[in-house]
Chain A
Amino acid sequence: MDSRLRSQVVFHLTGRQPDDGGAEQPLPAGLRPALLAPYRKLESIRHDFPVVLAAGPGEYVVSLAAAVDGALRTAAPQGLQGEAMRKRALHIERLIREAVAKGAQGTLLQAWDTAVAGAGTDDAWRREMTAVRNALAVDGELAGCDSRLPSRFLRHAWAVVQGDKARAARLRIDALVLRLEGILRADYARSAVAFQVANLQQTFGGSHQALFNFATMSRLLSPAASQGGLDTPRRARIEWALRTLREQAFFPPPGDPGAQEANNGGFAFDNVSAALESCRHRLPDMLSLLKALSLAELEVEGQFVEQLHAPIFDGMQSQDFTAAELQFFPDYLVTLDSDAPGVQADLGNALSSGMPVKVLLEVRDLLEEAAPGQGRFSFGMRGSQLASMAMTFGDAFVLQSAASNLLHMRDGIQRGLRHAGPTLFSVYAPADGESTLPGYLAAASAMQSRAFPAFSYDPGRGSDSATRFSLENNPQPDVDWPLEFLTYADQDLQAVTEELAFTFVDFLLADRRHNRHFAVIPRAHWGEGLISARQWLESPPADAATGLPYVLAVDDADLLCRVVVDERMMRAAQRCRETWHRLQELGGIHDSRTEALLAREKAAWEQGRAVDTAALAPAAIPAAPGDQPSIAAAVPDTAAAEDEAAPNPDVAYIETLRCSSCNECTLASPKMFAYDQNKQAYITDLKAGSYRQLVEAAESCQVSVIHPGKPWNSDEPGLDELIERARPFQ
């Protein structure tokens, strides 16, 4: 074995550089995966960052690029005419992006002004850029994709939801306060006190007071004062509810951002036990407020029934809160560091507490050595596996994402914050300076390489994990590693295009903490024994000497090189791929059981289809639908009339169904006729009146539905004439 190869094998197997003179050079500065070569000048690329954490209504976070595009759509003339203006605005946008990357802080408008001032432009320029500035539909803090992004982003999203909640709650509370006050005021207005001279006088505008004699008015009105008014228990209930609603300390008055911010402060924590303690402490007040709300709602509707409702209100307890009731109140935001000791137990406590807790788990490092410098890596225990664990708390909402992907996840984040129940956001953002890449690329490559896949688990979506779980936003989710094409110039300056996978190893290559697991191989030694890491992962060679895994990288000068990876890192990559497979299966991709079932069903279906096709007879053609029936010639439905039993013409009756409730018969002979429950007349007691009364009723019935039949008393005078008059109504 040639000594170079030997030292490479030693490195691969042990992770140590051999001392026999074959020492590899240290990793060149700025080494990064070859696929990331095009992104070297990130500030000049319009990407998702920085974002604007927008204040006010509308989307709560937008990318700087989207904000500028929106402004240009309104401010810049269409077509070629607006081209110059667009270019200048994009230049300002780029200056802002650079400033934020260098750590500038402040709002979009502030950054815009600074950039315009710094661009040293003339007045016309400035005016133009002011027009674009004025057309910016959003403003708010700018945030770059750095290690602070997850907490800033989540805190902002959470504050927006708290603001919405407070507004809705105050609307409900304030409306009830108004209406309860209205009840008390109405009660007062009808009381004897209100009709006293001085009080009457109070109700009149000053300009007309002299025109009235309030003493006389009081004398006239006083007899009309209501006796008693509100009864004592009701008044007490209303006053209690009013007091509770007015004094509640959960929702500050609307329209005061300062008060809302201060209020939010009481609900944000950096450890779970303090959050839970604070929540428990507030339970009695929450119970009182909920009681007051329900009670007030019943009272303003006049629906409170003492015997029915009082026991229910007395029996209410805070243990009985439903998730929906808890959701009415502000949520607790707890920010945890995945490296902190005991974080797993803390998470468990938070997610199983039944309290409205929203946890942000900040993940900084995905690779952890059991004992430093020794043994196995326990890949991802701190980060992505905590999120997987959280899914076992059936009602918890879980969302995982790299910081770079947060903008795409903004709707999911809102859903998680509005979820009635605990929520976990697990977000990866590498510590600043740990990567040779800018924060955005470092985070994005964690997601790209499956080291930190994005997923969400939303219990609100359905009852089974297939509908709850989603792998949205991961690139090429149905393969092990995303594949991309890389085109480069070879030694003869000929273009070569190669398909490369972006693996877990590529991701770690850029992380300074893991440099020692990589060794650069000079071009002269790109010998036979090397295979790509992707290939190695697909089928690890039995003997290290026949296949050393490498990844393609570029140095600062964009020169391509191959980097050998040590074996422990490759094992970590294998475990990463296994974890990814489990997620894929959860997300219904390559689900082994489903695939087996599908194969079976497909075979059965094809068999069945063969039988059906053989038996298929020519189908009968349905008759064309006829024309619409004509209105005038609509055919009477005679069939319905067939079985009609004709009423006995000798017996008096009313076609009650057709009675038009005109009161004629019922008022003329209340003993003979009455109304049924639908206010339609029927004969109650014929003998209670005379045949004459009956015939007269028939004559006065405007819709002719009284049928007098034959007389029942042959002694009644004038029967012949009455029978004649009754004839048209038989």
Chain B
Amino acid sequence: MSAATLCLHHFAEENYALEDYQGGVPRWCKGCGDNAILAAMQRLCRDEALRPEKTVFVSGIGCSSRLPHYMRTYGFHGIHGRALPIAEGIKLARPDLHVFVNTGDGDCCSIGAAHWIHAIRYNMNMTVLLHDNHIYGLTKKQASPTSPIGTRSNTTPRGSYLDALSPLTVTLGVQNVSFVAQAVDWIPESLFQILTAAYRHRGFSFVRILQRCPEFVGNMFEPWVHDPQRMLMLTHADGIRVSPALQKIYRNQLPHDPADINRAREIASSEDPIPVGILYRNPEVPCYEDLRGAGKLRTADQVRGTLDAELDKFTVWPQ
């Protein structure tokens, strides 16, 4: 787009309210942490003035994956574990869209783990929200890869046997990682700040959000929710700063430079206190869509031709 058109564009800049992004009425359980994530997301869209028709939320399957229904933007409620490949396809075809991904700990770290690893490496420009409630919520309480050892669930009635997988350290270990952060649903302000930083980062921004599931694992995060001093706020001029009001509650702070990946890995391994903030950011990593010259427009004939060819492969010809 030319500079002149851009200028004409700004002419017609619109202002949005939070309600402009409110889709259907959420059907999550009472007190579910997903509500806080939804609110922070709507606030981000409003404050960044994201045009609804230029924004798309992609998800897999799970309670958390219902989030796109509650946004009044474009959405793609995909299949279990496949949110990331769908989002990558969207980004390749339409790099002009703001792409967000909502995925659960089962969706991302279990059935979708292979896609997750490669999506990190592809480093496509999108913001990924891992709603990590340490459990399969939608299917009513089965242990997930992030359930702490000893978690009693329908599939592990005597307690789970394995140490939990850490989505943070895994992500930080993959080539081309460019943005890793951790947030918790019960500190909405920092959740919002972290999501904003993630959105503004150009690349694959991975935000693990510890999310309460009061319905099935009500006690999972209780000690941290009720003791602000067991939270560790990461601060830095290049990271996020804790507001004075929040500082009065969350006084436990640690300066951390997001450019330092070794320190990031060390902090990521801490489960208690729970670190909150930006662990790692590297704006220099190239994005796959840039390497591949994404966004090529195709004529109607080309699209039809490709579709026909694909469909022909599966056609059962009428006898």
Interface residues of A (CB under 8 A from B): 174-175, 178-179, 181-182, 185, 205, 207-208, 211, 290, 293-294, 297-298, 301-305, 308-309, 312, 324-325, 328, 628-629, 631-632, 634-638, 640-641, 644, 655, 657-664, 677-680, 700-704
Contacts and interface: CB of A to CB of B under 8 A. Distances in A.
26 contacts: A178-B299, A181-B300, A205-B308, A208-B318, A293-B5, A294-B4, A301-B9, A629-B254, A631-B254, A631-B267, A631-B270, A634-B252, A634-B273, A636-B251, A637-B252, A640-B251, A644-B248, A657-B249, A660-B185, A660-B186, A661-B188, A662-B30, A662-B36, A700-B30, A702-B30, A702-B214
A297 B96 CA distance: 13
Contacts, number: 139
Interface stretch (B37-45, B110-118, B125-133): B37-45
A175 B96 CA distance: 14
B237 interface: no
A658 B12 contact: no
A248 B251 CA distance: 65
Contacts of A679: 18, 39, 42-43
A304 B33 CA distance: 40
Given A678-B39, A679-B18, A702-B214, 19 more contacts: A174-B297, A207-B318, A298-B5, A301-B9, A303-B9, A309-B11, A309-B12, A312-B8, A636-B251, A640-B248, A655-B249, A657-B189, A660-B33, A660-B36, A661-B38, A662-B35, A662-B36, A678-B188, A700-B30
Interface in B298-318: 298-300, 308, 315, 317-318
- 7 residue pairs, one from A and one from B, having the closest CB atoms: A702-B31, A661-B39, A660-B36, A679-B39, A636-B251, A297-B5, A294-B5
A678 B18 contact: yes
A640 B243 CA distance: 11
B267 A640 contact: no
A635 B253 CA distance: 7
Nearest to B192: A678
B151 to A, nearest CB: 20
Given A178-B297, A679-B42, A324 B8 contact: no
A342 B8 CA distance: 45
Given A175-B297, A659-B188, A664-B31, A631 B266 contact: yes
Nearest to A312: B8
Interface stretch (B100-108, B142-150, B163-171, B224-232): B224-232
B83 interface: no
B79 interface: no
B253 A634 contact: yes
Nearest to B10: A303
Given A298-B5, A631-B273, A658-B187, A636 B245 contact: no
Contacts of B39: 660-661, 678-680
B175 to A, nearest CB: 25
Contact of B275 (A205, A631, A655, A701): A631
B43 to A, nearest CB: 5
Candidate in A293, A631, A632, A638 with the most chain B CB atoms within 10 angstroms = A631
Interface in B178-233: 185-189, 192, 212, 214, 225-226, 229, 232
B8 A660 contact: no
A679 B42 CA distance: 9
Nearest to A637: B251
Contacts of B244: 640
Given A634-B273, A658-B186, A664 B30 contact: yes
Contact of B253 (A211, A312, A637): A637
Nearest to A668: B30
A631 to B, nearest CB: 5
A657 B252 contact: no
A140 B188 CA distance: 65
Contacts of A328: 2
A93 to B, nearest CB: 37
B186 A677 contact: no
B21 to A, nearest CB: 10
A647 to B, nearest CB: 11
Contacts of B23: none
A174 B297 CA distance: 9
B220 to A, nearest CB: 12
A704 B2 CA distance: 52
A309 B8 contact: yes
B291 interface: no
Nearest to A211: B318
A657 B42 CA distance: 16
B26 interface: yes
A632 B18 contact: no
B2 A663 contact: no
Nearest to A630: B254
Interface string B261-297: 0010011001011010000000000000000000001
Candidate in B12, B42, B247, B273 with the most chain A CB atoms within 10 angstroms = B12
A552 to B, nearest CB: 58
Interface in B68-89: none
Nearest to A295: B5
Contacts of A662: 30-32, 35-36
B179 to A, nearest CB: 21
Given A308-B12, A679-B39, A704-B226, A302 B248 contact: no
B297 A298 contact: no
A580 to B, nearest CB: 42
Contacts of B248: 640-641, 644
Nearest to A660: B36
Contacts of B267: 631
A325 B318 CA distance: 58
B278 to A, nearest CB: 15
A636 B249 CA distance: 10
Nearest to B38: A661
Contacts of A312: 8, 11
B31 A179 contact: no
B246 interface: yes
